[in-house]
Amino acid sequence: MTFKFKSLKNKIIEYIKFNVIGISNFFISQLIYLYLFLHLKIYYILAYTLVSIFSVCASYFLNSKFTFKEKKYCPKKFSLSALVYIIEYILNMGIIILLVNVFDVSKVLAPIISPLISTPPVFFMMRAVIKDSVHS
């Protein structure tokens, strides 16, 4: 029983760290998005795409080192994590477009709302990529 509790506790701690990094990354990304969209007048989908590329790289390196405590970076794991974030990007972009075009949500607010849906599945996919299933 102690072993299972410790394992569950470690996974909860990882999830908390994942969210702390994700929230930090999210706020920085949103500031960059707002700058690109509002100040540089870049089309919102292009601005979101550019920010997503930055966010994918930052997320992989930060989660590898701090959340899942990997000792070294691996190109194969980076590629697989990029694939996870492509899935997240597609999901988020669909939600953003739906929110903007169907529900008339602001182009500023839509990217803030969409990650609320995508974060839990992305955590489990990233954990599998970085920690569990792929060994370098």
**pLDDT of 27:** 92
- pLDDT of residue 136 exceeding 70: no
CA-based torsion, 95, 12, 57, 133: positive or negative: negative
65: region left, alpha or beta (phi > 0 left; psi from -120 to 50 alpha): alpha
Using a pLDDT cut of 90, give the percent of the chain over it: 39
CA-based torsion, 124, 129, 134, 136: positive or negative: negative
74: exposed, middle or buried (C-beta count within 10 Å: 0-12, 13-18, 19+)? middle
Closest CA to 84 of 27, 46, 21, 127: 127
**pLDDT of 37:** 94
Question: What residue has token string 């930055």?
Answer: 54
Q: Is residue 135 within 8 Å of residue 80, measured between CB atoms?
A: no
**pLDDT of 113:** 92
- pLDDT of residue 7 exceeding 70: yes
Name the average pLDDT for the chain.
86
| Local confidence band at 82 (pLDDT 50, 70, 90 cut-offs) | confident
